[in-house]
Amino acid sequence: MILAADFNITKVERSKLNDIDLENIPFGKYFTDHMLEVDYENGEWKTVEIKPYQPLLLAPSTAALHYGQAIFEGIKAYKNPEGEPFIFRPHDNFIRFNISAERMQMPQLPEEIFMEGLRTLIELDKNWIPNKADHSLYIRPFMFSSDELIGVKPSEKYKFMIILSPTGPYYSTPMRIYVEEQYVRAVPGGVGYAKAAGNYGAAMFATAEARKKGYDQVLWTDAFEHKYVQECGTMNVFFIIGDTAITPDLGAGTILAGVTRDSVIVMLKEMGFKVEEKALSINDVIDAHKAGLLYEVFGTGTAATISLIKELRYKDYVMEFDVDRWKTAPEIKERLNQIRYGTAPDQFGWMFKV
């Protein structure tokens, strides 16, 4: 059992907090005073170091830079009205982190390093949690292979780190989405369900092409028929069709099991919706739109929270939505925020006290 008492903690002499306007921050640009770093070598995790945020010194031969054994997580911390810090469902991210590690042939991370590491780091940098609506402290745990060797094989050495970034909204306005039919994000048997760094790099070209056409993100479709919807940009996606909320199921291993996705499913059920996790074809979405039954489309993710989709384009068929009239997605966002910011009871036991 590894406890915080076993961590080596070196604090900054002077906090950078006063240099930053926490009320006015883009996503992922500023980092807090401290970071966590621990190495894996000879089959074991070494001493956890918490120290001032600083650059890493890496050999050019560092394996992750060449073959991409690299995984990460995204989690958020919030403050309640009393100013106490809470983290949203971090244990679910811990479980997913080790699922990603297994798929990428990386070592399992002990729960105490992840959970106790998070708690200790956030306790130290809790003043960095913004107080403003839609703002939070974004937590980025990550692991990469650190062998200094360019032979293609699983590394023997790894580094696990956690960095923290105070942040505002990721997508601030409703999005225009292009249904992708040429490029693919994930295939059955691939790594789509893992939070592997390469999934995000591999998505950038298609996203840039969609941007050139005036869209914010792509809606990925399956690799074989380009028919079944998968994820939307870096988010899971939900369609409210009639009295049913539908989101692609996780069965094919092509979809990331989002923690926000799971929370939204729980909340939709609680609000009286039928929720179906199933293969959903773009033709079914279009048929629902033609029948006037496609009420809302939105993305969910840690960074994005709930993002409304105001336009969906498939080939020449354009679906436009008057998002100002929507009820469900805004209500879920509001209720989720109330739980996160501690203004409503934590009825599902999602908030982890630091």
Residues that bind ligand COI (CB under 6 A): 74, 200, 234, 301-304
What's the Cα-to-Cα distance from 344 to each of 79, 256, 311, 328, 353, rounded to whole Å? 13, 28, 32, 18, 15
The residue at minimum Cβ distance from ligand COI is 74
Residue among 154 and 169 whose Cβ is closer to ligand COI: 169
Length of the chain as a residue count: 354
- Work out how close the CB of 89 gets to ligand COI at its nearest, in angstroms, rounded to a whole number: 12
Q: How far is the CB of 208 from ligand COI (least distance, A)?
A: 16
Alpha helices in 9-125, H assignment, sequence order: 63-67, 90-103, 111-124
> Which residue, 103 or 157, is less far from ligand COI as judged by CB?
103
Report the residue number, 226 or 333, with the smaller CB distance to ligand COI. 333
Query: In whole angstroms, how close is the CB of 42 to ligand COI at the nearest point?
Result: 31
Q: Which CB atom, from 74 or from 90, has the smaller least distance to ligand COI?
A: 74
- Calpha distance 282→298 (Å, rounded): 15
To ligand COI, the closest distance from the beta carbon of 103 in angstroms equals: 16
Tokens of 60: 């050019």
Chain centre distance of CA 159: 20
Closest CA to 223 of 201, 252, 246, 245: 252
Question: CB 73 → ligand COI: shortest distance, Å?
Answer: 7
Are 331 and 344 in contact, with CB atoms under 8 Å apart?
A: no
Residues 254 and 260 sit within 8 Å (Cβ to Cβ): no
From 251, 257, 181, select the one nearest 223 (Cα to Cα). 181
Nearest CA-CA partner of 171 in 140, 141, 206, 134: 134
Looking at residue 289, what DSSP letter applies?
A: H
CB of 320 to ligand COI, least distance (A): 26
